[in-house]
Structure 1
Amino acid sequence: MEEQDRGPDRPVDLSHVPDAEPRHEPRTLAGNKNPYTVLGKTYHLMDDETGYKERGIASWYGQKFHGRKTSNGETYDMYGMTAAHKTLPIPSYVRVTNLDNGRQVVVRVNDRGPFHAGRIIDLSYAAAQKLGFAARGTAQVEVEIIVPGDQAPAPLRANRDAPVVGTPAPGAFTPVKTTQAAPKNQPMTFVQVGAFSTLDAAEKRRTQLERFVDQPVLIYSPDEEPVLHRVRIGPLHTTEEVTALREQLRKNAIDQTHIVRE
């Protein structure tokens, strides 16, 4: 969220706002200058965005830019499902997952930014609210390109580029695979595998799990005292998937688990 930016003057429930619907669109002349320079730094657009996936910090922008022109000349609407990205072509579509709670949205990239160090995407206020971090300003997310015509949500995969803590014994880990889509209007199911008093300990457990789990491994840190960083796997979509995952965890000496539904 840009400094001194803010959301609506009064609380507004935007949960009903539909996600962007991916479709084939030509790249606009405006917004796709390559390379371009902002604040003394030069950016080069992706030659091929196919397969793009990245984890990092998302922010949002609101009233400060509401009604102004985006990079491709459209009018920014903080109640729409749009986003700004530094190097993806304009327009393009991405799926954004909040790694703290598993929520997902699909947004249309029509702007450039964010130009704060360490941030990978700037979302509209509506998208941030649907992802559950509008009040906080930023969140850890995964951003994945969507190819129009193939936009059905794919099962999330753990980040295989994450650093490994320790060296597992040969043959100790067997991946758990899933291709089952989530039924609509059903609560999300997670398997919780620990609650830690420090974020560092939770991150180590997440890194360990990502070695042999295909589903997302999330850290949920609610605003409460005392703070406990809960490590969860999911969302899971069927009873069979939950059973298979818990059995796989037991094979890897993780016996203390329980199911969480949200």
Structure 2
Amino acid sequence: MGKSGSDRIRLAARALAAAGACLMLANCGSSSKLSRIDPKYGVSSSPRVVASGDTVPKGGGTYRIGKPYTVAGRVYVPQENTKYKAEGLASWYGDAFHGRLTANGEVFDMASLSAAHPTLPLPCYVRVTNLGNSKSLVVRVNDRGPYHGNRLIDVSNKAAELLEFKRNGVAPVRVEYVGRAPLEGSDDRQLMATLRTGVPAPSPSTVRVASARPFVPELRPSIGETSASSRVSTHRQESDGRREVSYGEGDVTGRVHPVAAYAPADQSGPSEFSARGLY
């Protein structure tokens, strides 16, 4: 077989190798996508739109209540119940969720005083009282959850610190509806000033914060139109049709370890859901 025949064989071998590499990449991409979908709940990870270390924008979401929905056999009926009061377990979430979109299109900041609840309107204020030490604090609910067991609410890393149960992971709490929260975001200095021991935390509107400068909501990071701020805008526009979701079964014991955020996948088109993790 001549030189031309050898060249043809080498070219064919290269073509087959390239095709094989493409198939491997395609399969890896597909497997990676499927690996982010929980087999039980049919959820995929919600996007991280602000990188670690970047300024997290305040507010910027929409007001949502949502229609009744069922996940993992449980029915949730979102509503604005001004007399809402319930007791149960609280857990906390932090770094793994930081910078990810919440159910109403805001961005989760683990250093802010926020929370996730399965049915209350978004955003709203609730009073969370740690029944173990009588610490009471008002937080901003801007996400759906918790999604596991008999937990009543998830609070941010900072809120768990102030309520003094971060080390334990979970705590028995009482949750009371306070009222709607402004879409432009909340002043964490004002929410922090609601912290009380032995008495219920007051409404943020009744708390005065001494400061040399007023609270000015940042709907975009102060560093300008960075890639992070662009992603926030893009993902919020793509998520305008979302509904909230929450789910959970079984008992909760032991320490809570935050994991990646999730949102139910809609194979027919853009996701209509946005929510957080299963753990």
Shorter-chain TM-score: what band? 0.3 to 0.5
Normalising by structure 2, we get a TM-score of 0.42
Bigger relative contact order, structure 1 or 2, given CA contacts below 8 A and separation 6+?
A: 2
Normalising by structure 1, we get a TM-score of 0.45
